[in-house]
Structure 1
Amino acid sequence: SGSPIDLITLAESLERQGQLDSVGGFAYLAELSKNTPSAANISAYADIVRERAVVREMISVANEIAEAGFDPQGRTSEDLLDLAESRVFKIAESRANKDEGPKNIADVLDATVARIEQLFQQPHDGVTGVNTGYDDLNKKTAGLQRFR
């Protein structure tokens, strides 16, 4: 009905429908409400999800390495070590980039406005990246841009 939902409004609505007792009563709703994760801890929850994802990836890579060891398919021990190192390094590398992901909109807007101001103040003839030397390509891409 367009009204906000919280413990009080939910209990009131259920009571009006005669269903409050059938769902466990106000005390049960209060207990559910108390144990419901809130958006205030979203960063901590995201860290937990990220950590568990890394552990799952480690397990997957460990299984892959074990399978390669049991069935080397003509690979030498050095080849297998290279495989293991590269797969584990890939996991470590992805952890190094853990600050990627959702960002605060205010920070993104501040950085965007600063970049726009910087571009506006610099004479660039439409090329904001590295000039390719090809006018048509520069017009379409504004030059070679840095990957972000």
Structure 2
Amino acid sequence: MSEQMYLAYDYPLLGAFWTMLWLFLWILWFILLFRIIADIFRDDGLSGWGKGGWLVFVVFLPFLGVFVYVIARGRKMGAREITHARAQQKAFDSYIKDTAGTPSHADELSKLSEMRSRGDITDDEFRRAKELVLSGRGPSERPGGDTSAPSGH
């Protein structure tokens, strides 16, 4: 019996399963490797030499380097990722607020005019609101910096 027997390849379905398993593990390995490399660069607590050392270790000895990194520094990887995600969300929210801006005086005056024409406010209320808008303290910019408080109407 000099013939070798390949157990997984005697059954085509088992061979396909075995191939898919190895492909999945290979993709999983690369995802883990790239996440660790991103974590090395993201960590503000590491010095430049520390980042360089970990990067050389992970790139040139990938299996050993990744396992040692996960054991030594893996506990804080999630916290660093959450901090990074929160900082990105805060920057995005700030960008949206800056881009959206506040309504112009013309927009607010046209809304007031529509409200007066519908009869929602009187001519006297329209005149007072118009003065507030033109003075820069309109409905969107209330005194005291509180922009979320209702106007009371």
Fold shared by both chains (TM-score > 0.5): no
Of structures 1 and 2, the larger Rg is shown by 2
Higher helix proportion, which one?
Answer: 2
Tell me the TM-score normalised to structure 1 length: 0.29
